[in-house]
């Protein structure tokens, strides 16, 4: 799909440009110009720097170097063992206080990967990953989920969410498939736009957070699904399949876009001036912040100075840095003074950063919104998340109308490694990256499937349990909860995405006991189902539902009816992978749009 004239005026839709206060108060653009007229080169460069919090050598460096933003890296806690929203509010406010000591008192942006709720902060509601949200097809629910996330972020002092992922995942082997709403560009675009509106609001303001569409562009199309790999498609396919979610995000007013680590046409995207400056900022009229991925600029070339020059010249506005922020500042200053990077390029970057900070109201209210702390993990938010989860589970099989199950069955035999695992039902990007191993009390953090089941059935129903399904003889039904274990990014790349042998064992054992089997699959991608499907009487794909797994149990017992439809194709065999709508003649096991109800 070629970019047409209807996108030329997209910048008019970016809501940050025309905001102004009542009366004769200056507009945001006027305030930006006034501020920039006062700024030195060093102060401008500081605004282009995002430092990983664990690599900040001293909070005093925020004041000394005028650092513009920080990012909460996965696994970093404000203090050892302390990772609550209150802990983060205290920590973020401390960092912000150093920004308030600078000459111009330009506030700090604090970023985090809150990709399915503010799930890196202990006690927050963990929402379904995008793959499940895409199956809901419900833009209003996606918007509500993002708004809930924004509230829990602002309570903890975070103002920049490195989400939503706008990838159109086209290979089941890719380790970030669960971050993609769909293999279908149009559905992904709708979902991304809804998420942006939820995070930011109709216009970015002090109640929202800065959203970030990522990773521009084509990260879901790498060869063999290798994370950060090579994108080997032509420009026409790139535009037709992978541009629509970004176009939709820009139309929705997204305030930032993150670049992909991947290569297109053999060149790292972080250094591609054509894609960043000419297409994203020029053709698409994107007027927000272009941010690098973590240390992504240093993969452009072998020489550090060359990397920085090419990245900034290509149009990157904010550079996400690990431990070398002081070196970066020194080198960029030298490059500008040597006239290798234009002062206008620096001004363009700083203007975009200040635009977001003014729109968020941080100059007036820079600190955490502690009045929202009571909402973090609240019953109100959990009830809302439960309704969202109900809309994400896809029913693929229901022989003899086994579902919904009665709540007064004499005995239910529960099995499978994921039946009592918060980690497996939440997936990656949760607490300490992959699981709950560093959380002090996982039971209070959320509810497992086993706990939700006990809460659902009547007092006369016995629940027996064995991970391997042994002992099911005589049960009214067997429920087997299986699936993937948590992973993130390249750790999730799988050359053979199939149901694991350990997951087939409990299915076989219960089926051998002549007990009808209900399989609940917790997964971050379509898998080759094999025996798991054929030996079951009912099969529900729960994806990665998060802490409010009660919503999945509701679907099994009729407290909610399944309504979700597949947003990704399920292959019949390994040989069919990758399989996508509109590609080739192979017929998937289950097509996009498949899904039963009762």
**CATH code at position 114:** 3.20.20.300
Residue linked to tokens 């050892």? 80
Residue 501, classified by CB atoms within 10 Å of its CB into exposed (0-12), middle (13-18) or buried (19+), is exposed
Residue 244 CB partners (closer than 8 Å, separation 6+): 1, 168, 185, 186, 188, 189
- Domain match, 401 and 518 both: yes
Band (3; pLDDT cuts 50, 70, 90): very low
Residues of the chain above pLDDT 90, percent: 90
Domain that holds residue 49: 11-17+38-373
- Domain match, 473 and 353 both: no
Q: By C-alpha distance, which of 431, 447, 445, 435 is closest to 376?
A: 445
Annotated catalytic residues are: 293, 489
Q: Quick check: 160 and 212 in contact, CB under 8 A?
A: yes
Is pLDDT at 20 greater than 60 in this prediction?
no
The kind and range of the H/E element at 307 are: helix 304-314
Is pLDDT at 287 greater than 60 in this prediction?
yes
In this structure, what token pair is assigned to residue 115?
């990709």
Lowest mean pLDDT among 53-67, 418-432, 471-485: 418-432
Is pLDDT at 81 greater than 60 in this prediction?
yes
In this structure, what token pair is assigned to residue 595?
């899904």
In sequence order, what are the beta bridge partners of 415? Answer: 480
Give DSSP secondary structure letters for 107-122: PPEEEE--BTBSTTSB
- Domain match, 226 and 184 both: yes
- Residue 545 inside a domain? The answer is yes
Strands of 109-112's sheet in order across: 160-161, 109-112, 69-71, 49-52, 319-321
Is pLDDT at 480 greater than 80 in this prediction?
yes
Q: What's the CA angle centered on 318, arms 353 and 266, to 5 degrees? A: 140
What value does the mean pLDDT take over residues 138-167? 98
Length of the chain: 598
Better pLDDT: 156 or 435: 156
How far apart, in Å, do the first and last CA atoms of the chain sit?
A: 38
The whole-angstrom distance between residue 455's C-alpha and the CA centroid of its chain comes to: 30
Q: What is the reported pLDDT for 9?
A: 40
- Domain match, 368 and 441 both: no
Is pLDDT at 200 greater than 50 in this prediction?
yes
Residue 37, classified by CB atoms within 10 Å of its CB into exposed (0-12), middle (13-18) or buried (19+), is exposed
pTM > 0.85: yes
- Residue 347 inside a domain? The answer is yes
- Residue 593 inside a domain? The answer is no
Q: Total domain count for the chain? A: 2
- pLDDT per position as a tens digit, 165-179: 999 999 999 999 999
Residue 64 CB partners (closer than 8 Å, separation 6+): none
- Domain match, 347 and 414 both: no
The kind and range of the H/E element at 503 are: helix 501-512
Q: What is the reported pLDDT for 12?
A: 39
Query: Alpha helices, DSSP H only, in 338-412?
Result: 343-359, 379-390
- Residue 462 inside a domain? The answer is yes
- pLDDT per position as a tens digit, 215-226: 999 999 999 999
DSSP type of residue 67 = -
Phi, psi of 41 (to 5 degrees): -60, -45
What's the rounded Cα separation, in Å, for the pair 267 and 258? 17
Q: What is the reported pLDDT for 325?
A: 97
Q: What is the reported pLDDT for 432?
A: 65
- Residue 42 inside a domain? The answer is yes
What value does the mean pLDDT take over residues 184-189? 98
- pLDDT per position as a tens digit, 106-146: 999 999 999 999 999 999 999 999 999 999 999 999 999 99
What value does the mean pLDDT take over residues 517-521? 99
Query: Alpha helices, DSSP H only, in 66-163?
Result: 85-99, 130-136, 139-155
Average pLDDT, the chain: 94
CATH of the domain at 464: 3.40.50.1700
- Residue 590 inside a domain? The answer is no
Is pLDDT at 2 greater than 60 in this prediction?
no
Q: What is the reported pLDDT for 220?
A: 97
- Residue 85 inside a domain? The answer is yes
- Domain match, 48 and 84 both: yes
Phi, psi of 391 (to 5 degrees): -90, 0
Q: By C-alpha distance, which of 151, 193, 138 is closest to 13?
A: 193
Find the radius of gyration of the CA atoms of the chain: 24
Q: What is the reported pLDDT for 8?
A: 36
User: 3-state class of 249 per DSSP?
Assistant: helix
- pLDDT per position as a tens digit, 298-343: 999 999 999 999 999 999 999 999 889 999 999 999 999 999 999 9
Q: What is the reported pLDDT for 505?
A: 98
What value does the mean pLDDT take over residues 537-556? 98
Residue 182 CB partners (closer than 8 Å, separation 6+): 134, 168, 169, 188, 191, 567, 568, 592
- Residue 434 inside a domain? The answer is yes
The whole-angstrom distance between residue 370's C-alpha and the CA centroid of its chain comes to: 24
Band (23; pLDDT cuts 50, 70, 90): low
């Amino acid at each position: 799909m070629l970019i047409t004239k209807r996108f030329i005026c997209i910048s008019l839709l970016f809501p940050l440009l025309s905001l102004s206060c009542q009366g004769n108060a200056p507009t945001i653009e006027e305030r930006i110009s006034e501020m920039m007229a006062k700024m030195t080169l060093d102060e401008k460069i500081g605004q282009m720097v995002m430092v990983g919090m664990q690599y900040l050598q001293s909070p005093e460096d925020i004041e000394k170097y005028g650092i513009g933003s920080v990012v909460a890296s996965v696994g970093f806690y404000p203090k050892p063992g302390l990772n609550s929203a209150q802990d983060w509010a205290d920590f973020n406010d401390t960092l912000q206080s150093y920004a308030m000591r600078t000459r111009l008192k330009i506030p700090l942006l604090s970023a985090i990967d809150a990709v399915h709720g503010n799930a890196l902060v202990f006690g927050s509601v963990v929402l379904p990953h995008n793959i499940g949200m895409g199956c809901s097809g419900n833009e209003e629910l996606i918007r509500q989920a993002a708004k809930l996330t924004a509230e829990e972020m602002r309570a903890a002092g975070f103002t920049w969410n490195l989400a939503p992922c706008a990838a159109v995942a086209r290979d089941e082997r890719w380790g970030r498939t669960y971050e993609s709403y769909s293999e279908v560009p149009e559905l992904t675009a709708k979902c991304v736009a809804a998420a942006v509106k939820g995070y930011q609001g109709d216009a970015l303001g002090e109640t929202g957070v800065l959203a970030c569409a990522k990773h521009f562009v084509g990260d879901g199309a790498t060869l063999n699904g290798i994370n950060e790999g090579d994108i080997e498609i032509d420009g026409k396919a790139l535009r037709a399949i992978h541009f629509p979610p970004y176009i939709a995000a820009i139309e929705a007013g997204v305030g930032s876009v993150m670049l992909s680590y991947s290569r297109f046409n053999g060149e790292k995207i972080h250094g591609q001036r054509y894609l960043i400056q000419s297409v994203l900022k020029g053709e698409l009229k994107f007027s927000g912040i272009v941010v690098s991925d973590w240390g992504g600029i240093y993969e452009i070339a072998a020489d550090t100075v060359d990397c920085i020059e090419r990245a900034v010249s290509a149009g990157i506005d904010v550079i996400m840095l690990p431990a070398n922020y002081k070196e970066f500042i020194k080198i960029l200053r030298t490059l500008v003074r040597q006239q290798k990077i234009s002062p206008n390029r620096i001004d363009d970057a700083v203007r975009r950063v200040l635009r977001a900070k003014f729109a968020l109201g941080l100059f007036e209210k820079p600190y955490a919104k502690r009045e929202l702390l009571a909402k973090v993990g609240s019953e109100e938010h959990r009830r809302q998340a439960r309704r969202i989860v109900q809309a994400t589970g896809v029913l693929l099989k229901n022989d003899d109308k086994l579902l919904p199950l009665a709540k007064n069955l004499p005995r239910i035999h529960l099995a499978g490694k994921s039946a009592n695992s918060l980690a497996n039902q939440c997936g990656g990007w949760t607490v300490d990256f992959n699981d709950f191993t560093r959380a002090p009390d996982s039971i209070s953090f959320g509810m497992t499937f086993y706990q939700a089941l006990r809460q659902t059935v009547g007092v006369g129903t016995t629940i027996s349990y064995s991970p391997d399904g042994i002992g099911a003889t005589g049960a009214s039904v067997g429920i087997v909860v299986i699936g993937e274990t948590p992973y993130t990014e390249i750790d999730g790349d799988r050359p053979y995405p199939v149901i694991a042998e350990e997951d087939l064992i409990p299915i076989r054992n219960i089926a051998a006991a002549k007990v009808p089997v209900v399989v609940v699959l917790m997964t971050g991608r379509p898998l080759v189902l094999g025996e798991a499907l054929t030996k079951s009487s009912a099969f529900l794909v729960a994806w990665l539902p998060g802490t409010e797994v009660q919503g999945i149990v509701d679907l099994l017992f009729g407290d909610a009816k399944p309504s979700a439809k597949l947003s990704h194709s399920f292959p019949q065999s390994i040989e069919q992978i990758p399989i996508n709508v509109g590609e080739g003649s192979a017929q998937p096991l289950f097509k996009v749009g498949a899904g039963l109800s009762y």
